[in-house]
Structure 1
Amino acid sequence: MRICELKQKEVINICTCRTLGCPVDVEFDCESGCITAIVVPGPGSFCFCFWGPASEYVIPWNCIRQIGDDIILVEIDEKHCCKKD
């Protein structure tokens, strides 16, 4: 799977059954080349460009439960995964 394909999938938190949006970026380990997290615009963000209070969900790769054709199921505590710049 390519990153551009990953960015077209909707992220859903299975703990709250809430849609978080679509990934806009990934984090990876430079040494291993493995993806370590996906980044999704946080609450109040619109298309990652027009931010009010800057925030994003950084979802560790090990919190991803399943990647389907159209969705990515994650299991996270949204309060702890939301980073503010």
Structure 2
Amino acid sequence: MRICELRQKEVINIRDCQRIGYVMDIDMDPVTGRVCQLIVPGQGKICGLFGRDTEYVIGWKCVRQIGADIILVDVCIEEVLRECEIKKNC
């Protein structure tokens, strides 16, 4: 499966049937070439343009199934949510 195919799939948490979002990026192990984490963007303050933004970092071990349109994960949302700074080159 290609990265571009993962980006077209919606991530859904099976614990609470919550839609998390679409895959934005992945982390890969450079030695083995295996996917380590899926990164899904969270909600920004103002369209994600200013201040802090959040993202969900979901370990590959938490992925339960990949279907045609969705990726099912089993996560505690509070544990995978992290803040990140959006840096602008001005």
TM-score, normalised with respect to structure 1: 0.88
The runs of at least 4 consecutive aligned structure 1 residues that moved more than 3 Å come to 48-52
Structure 1 residue 30 and structure 2 residue 35: aligned?
A: no
Cα distance in 2 for partners of 1:49, 1:26 equals: 19
State the superposition RMSD in angstroms: 1.8
Shift of 1:52: 5.0
- Report the secondary structure of 2:75's partner residue: coil
Q: How many residues align?
A: 83
Task: Tell me the residue number matched to 1:8.
Answer: 8
Between Structure 1 and Structure 2, whose CA radius of gyration is higher? 2
Q: 1:51-70 counterparts in 2 under 5 A?
A: 53-70=52-69
Identity of aligned residues (%): 45
In structure 1, the gaps of 5 or more residues are none
Of stretches 52-61 and 64-73 in structure 1, the one that deviates more from structure 2 is: 52-61
In structure 2, the gaps of 5 or more residues are 85-90
TM-score, normalised with respect to structure 2: 0.84
Cα distance in 2 for partners of 1:22, 1:53 equals: 19
Shift of 1:55: 1.0
